[in-house]
Structure 1
Amino acid sequence: MAEPASPEKKRADSITTASDVKPSSSTVSLPNNGPLAEPRPAPTFTDLLFRRKKLQPPDLDAIATLPSVYDDPVIARHYWPRADYENLHRFEPAARWTYREEKAIVRKIDWRVMLWAAISFSALNLDRNNLSQANTDNFLPDLGLTTDDFNWGNSIFRLAFLCAELPSQLVSKRLGPDRWIPMQMCMWSIVTLGQFWLSGRTSFFLCRAFIPDLILYLSYFYTKNELPLRLAAFWASSNVCSIIGSFIAYGVLHLRGALGRAGWRWLFLVEGLITLCIGVATFFMMPPAPTKTRAWFRPNGWFNEREETIIVSRILRDDPTKGDMHNRQALTLKRLWKAALDYDLYPLYLIGLLFGIPVGPPAQYLTLSLRNLGFGTFQTNLLTIPSTVAGMFTLFGITLLSETLDDRSIVSMAEDIWALPFLIAIFTLPAKPNQWVYYGLASGLVSYPYTHAIQVAWCSRNAGTVSSRTVNV
């Protein structure tokens, strides 16, 4: 008697090859199995500087579909998405689209998906970073805390963040980022609101031990070459949030004395409420997948059938491994262990752990240092804005340079090269420096080119599987 076919054999037998796929007429405006686009080499840095006029943009009506493993029916079988992949019904390897279509769709994703992801991340950081603003309003003296207590609070926060990062990613993979992220935002906003009633050292420490994962979510919509600049915008939104937070602090801290409460208490309350409102809205603004944007409150969805086909097909053609798990599929112990043994990524982990050390303390203690040097509460909050704006430009600049040169390791060193002269200059200052001299040096230091977007996209590119991307990014 013949042995029953294995699940893998059944799956292979059921695969429709690229030449067999016949997309529905309602989604196709171009011939299938037609010519593919020639991969365009990225312009070099010297091209952009000296030969910009010679750089010819692609014909917007030419085919933009790039070659992939799905163009060979034999190879395609080994990379076919799993049967329960949520976007499988829109995956059509034979579909072709133009640069004009692709450009319009990416722009729509930027406005529909990326924009709200940045808003939600900013709202989360509004609460996570408000301690620096509270320090300008006698936060430590009001609670009877010392600078050492403040140091311990920051250490507790970062330790909790480090310990909870992986469990949070695993929960996100099981529930789906579209559910877990707004849940995190709402929980963190409640913690922030609770800081209105801080009474001393113990309650301060408890409120720092909480961890509020959008990178995996964004990878559902963008190719590996599109993700770095979007991540740069993602972290730049945190800078925008810091600027907005400074203006909020400038206004709210004037409430010091209202109802007998310190201004920093009102700051925690107001910013906690803002994050809570955005967290609730995020439940309705984050669809679970490109083909799952329709809901009872959004009956027409964000993309039509043709657009969904292009989004899914271009993502899988760019990285076939993105179809090896369902978006609400939990990681098994085997997958988790395999991802943990991906030793090729270990050097990237080391870079991620060490890259922010030189500039971390001066940035964390900037407002406290400025207050100790004699700047007032409201003046200090406004003085942090110029370096925040400058940081946005250096962030985009370093990420663009990395993509242009197609280099991540050497370009990322620019962060430390930037920081070194400022750190030396600050180290040589006298015990009681001129407040404006220190402000200028510290502002120059914290305007450094933040390379985290490069590093995270680097990890995502090299992860190889969804499970590895869940654990490692």
Structure 2
Amino acid sequence: MAGFQPCATEGDVPSDEENTPVAVDEATAADWTKAEEDAVKRKYEHDELQSPALPGTMRSANPCRDDNRLDFILLPIMALAFFALQMDRGNIANALTDTITTDLGITTNDINVGGSLLSTGIVLLEIPSNILLQRVGPHRWLSVQIVGWGLVATFQSFIHNYPGFLVTRFILGCAESGFIPGALYTLSTWYKKGESNFRISIFFLGNLLAAATVSLIGAGILSMGPRYGIAGWRWLFIIEGIITVAIGLIFFALLPPSVGQGSPWISFGKWSYFTPRETYIIKRRVLLDDPAKLHGTKIRITGTDVWKTVKDPRILVHVLISLTATTPVSAINTYGPSVIKSLGFDAVRANAMASVGQFISVVLVLVLGWLADKTNRKAPAVIFGAVWSVIAFTCLRQSSFGGWGVGRRYAAVVFSMATNSTVHILNVGWLSVNCVRPQQRSIAMAMIIMAANAAGIAGSQVFRTGDAPLYINAFTACLTLAAFLIVVIAAQGAWYFFSNRSLRKKGATSTAPVVAAEVGTTPEGQPVEVRKEWRWTW
């Protein structure tokens, strides 16, 4: 098969009749029914998965077996791994309500430094990790990462001083680097563009549910301290770290290795999640939607690919959106339980009450992700998330000036925490569908997660000890960033919209860019090529 042509035009096609590719029209190339494709994606129907166009292909061995299609296989495994990441990264917020600062002899500002070091470790190794993923393969590399940071998270329980705290936080960040962009890129090879935002939202459910339930889990674990002379926060790191290692082993055992290989490790090659016919549909439907995905996760990323992506202005705007959106999110998620505790609640109850906002965010991001895919318009959904943030942080800031009761102040904290990464999650999906080449998508996913973690560095400095307990300066900073975010999102959406108008004009003169990939040959030996005119998604 020939390589991917990112921006070919008709003028680039050779005039020699023997070498002219046969352009495959999308409507005729899909030699399966919509019912078959829906069955592969989400549900299993009692249809015979056999097509006259593909003699010799197999039908399902058991038409009445339980649902086990792509969405129910891939997404839960990926989301579970993300749950583990957020659990080990975010449990410091629960530890702060216990005796960790007293036991280690540190202050809130020292905790902030540790948070910055964790984010620094992630940012430094994000792109190298994603390049390594392309060489090793996502199944092996992501599994090793999960087990690795699970072990680091567990051994945090043995620290006894400030230097030990800083070292373990930095190593934890290094171990976690690359997982999110690697998982996002892997998901992009399984799904079409019009399915991306909702599936990415489901993937991020692992993050959101962790943020929601870790407070509840933490509340229970902290109540164990000081059992057997071990403080509650140490039990927190031990138990949640062991859970992560177990999740890493489950990930390795159950994840399908690649789009063309549905046999997980646990099968020992004796069975597959998908029949040959289903595997054909899974691979072909994605290719017809985006020919650039021809090579899946087996691509080579060069220094030139990195440099071209890093300096692409459209990608940089998406990076700015995530950077701006995630800074206040990181801040309020870390200190939300502490703010609630300052309202007069004990540590266990404050952690439990902090989870309410996270559960609201789960519903919010799923609804907005579904609407973005349904309408094929990403910018309106992203702007909605930004407007929510402005309203929430306005209320939170106003509550600090007095006159608000405990209930109203708690509600303000909850709705500010409900903005949990909504804009960032939708922005990731928006960027993914606007990457022209697979190399660009792989690097861009790393860049946008780097931005989110760089925002963690900034966010860890928003709440300062001298600003307690009202944190007026912190809430003002969060509100300012949220307002700026609306402007940037609107500008990016307008940029894509007017760029498409320009492309439509070029299409009339046959100079519009296309993405193309050769997918085989005709019986006469001519190459068969999938070609699609490129359009930006706004």
TM-score range normalised by the length of the shorter chain? 0.7 to 0.9
Query: 2: CA distance between counterparts of 1:75 and 1:404?
Result: 37
Does the 8 Å contact 2:146/2:248 carry over to 1?
yes
Asked if 1:471 is matched to 2:406, the reply is no
Quote the residue 2:276 is aligned against: 305
Query: 2: CA distance between counterparts of 1:77 and 1:348?
Result: 36
CA offsets 1:328-375 (integer angstroms, 9 cap, x no match): 444222333333343332221211211223443222211122233331
Q: Which residues in structure 2 correspond to 1:266-305 (within 5 Å)? A: 266-294=235-263, 297-298=266-267, 299-305=270-276
Does the 8 Å contact 1:126/1:271 carry over to 2?
yes
Q: Which moved more, 1:377-386 or 1:312-321?
A: 377-386
Quote the residue 1:150 is aligned against: 111
Query: Which letter maps to 2:257?
Result: P
The structure with higher relative contact order (CA 8 Å, sep 6+) is 2
Query: Which letter maps to 1:429?
Result: S
Post-superposition shift, 1:286? 1.9
Number of aligned positions between the proteins: 391
Q: Which runs of 4+ in 1 moved over 6 A?
A: none
Q: 1:237/1:195 Cα in 2 relative to 1: closer, same or farther (>3 Å)? A: same
Query: Which letter maps to 2:439?
Result: S
Quote the residue 1:460 is aligned against: 432
Quote the residue 2:462 is aligned against: none
Partner SS state of residue 357, structure 1: helix
Asked if 1:314 is matched to 2:285, the reply is yes
Query: 1: CA distance between counterparts of 2:215 and 2:20?
Result: 55
2:126 to 165, 182, 187: 165
Quote the residue 1:141 is aligned against: 102
TM-score between both structures, scaled by the size of structure 1: 0.77
Q: Which residues in structure 2 correspond to 1:60-209 (within 5 Å)? A: 94=29, 96-107=31-42, 108-209=69-170
Query: 1: CA distance between counterparts of 2:226 and 2:328?
Result: 38
Q: 1:194/1:77 Cα in 2 relative to 1: closer, same or farther (>3 Å)? A: farther
Query: Which letter maps to 1:428?
Result: Q
CA offsets 1:370-411 (integer angstroms, 9 cap, x no match): 233331121012102211111111111222333344322343
Query: 1: CA distance between counterparts of 2:20 and 2:338?
Result: 59
Quote the residue 1:237 is aligned against: 206
Does the 8 Å contact 2:254/2:264 carry over to 1?
no
Q: 1:252/1:451 Cα in 2 relative to 1: closer, same or farther (>3 Å)? A: same
Query: 1: CA distance between counterparts of 2:317 and 2:265?
Result: 46
2:359 to 372, 376, 389: 389
Post-superposition shift, 1:430? 4.3
Does the 8 Å contact 1:197/1:265 carry over to 2?
yes
Does the 8 Å contact 2:222/2:232 carry over to 1?
yes
Does the 8 Å contact 1:178/1:286 carry over to 2?
yes
Does the 8 Å contact 1:134/1:264 carry over to 2?
yes
Partner SS state of residue 258, structure 2: coil
Query: 1: CA distance between counterparts of 2:165 and 2:20?
Result: 57
Asked if 1:414 is matched to 2:375, the reply is no
Query: 1: CA distance between counterparts of 2:333 and 2:217?
Result: 20
Query: 2: CA distance between counterparts of 1:307 and 1:423?
Result: 48
CA offsets 1:231-279 (integer angstroms, 9 cap, x no match): 1111122222233323322222121111211011001000000000111
Asked if 1:436 is matched to 2:407, the reply is yes
1:427 to 388, 397, 420: 397
Unaligned runs of at least 5 residues, structure 2:
5-17, 43-68, 177-181, 446-538
Does the 8 Å contact 1:398/1:451 carry over to 2?
no
Larger relative strand fraction:
2
CA offsets 1:181-229 (integer angstroms, 9 cap, x no match): 1111111111111111121211111122123120111112111111110
Partner SS state of residue 327, structure 2: coil
Root-mean-square deviation (CA), in Å?
2.5
Query: 1: CA distance between counterparts of 2:311 and 2:397?
Result: 41
Post-superposition shift, 1:97? 0.8
Query: Which letter maps to 1:249?
Result: G
Q: Which moved more, 1:97-106 or 1:154-163?
A: 154-163
Query: 1: CA distance between counterparts of 2:429 and 2:400?
Result: 41
Query: 2: CA distance between counterparts of 1:196 and 1:75?
Result: 65
Partner SS state of residue 326, structure 2: coil
Q: 1:434/1:257 Cα in 2 relative to 1: closer, same or farther (>3 Å)? A: same
Asked if 1:224 is matched to 2:185, the reply is no
TM-score between both structures, scaled by the size of structure 2: 0.68
Query: 2: CA distance between counterparts of 1:200 and 1:207?
Result: 11
Partner SS state of residue 313, structure 1: helix
Query: 1: CA distance between counterparts of 2:250 and 2:386?
Result: 39
CA offsets 1:85-140 (integer angstroms, 9 cap, x no match): xxxxxxxx845111111111001000111111111111221111111111221222
Query: 1: CA distance between counterparts of 2:247 and 2:319?
Result: 31
Q: Which residues in structure 2 correspond to 1:364-403 (within 5 Å)? A: 364-403=334-373
Q: 1:326/1:78 Cα in 2 relative to 1: closer, same or farther (>3 Å)? A: farther
Q: 1:375/1:295 Cα in 2 relative to 1: closer, same or farther (>3 Å)? A: closer
Does the 8 Å contact 2:194/2:374 carry over to 1?
no
Unaligned runs of at least 5 residues, structure 1:
1-6, 13-72, 80-92
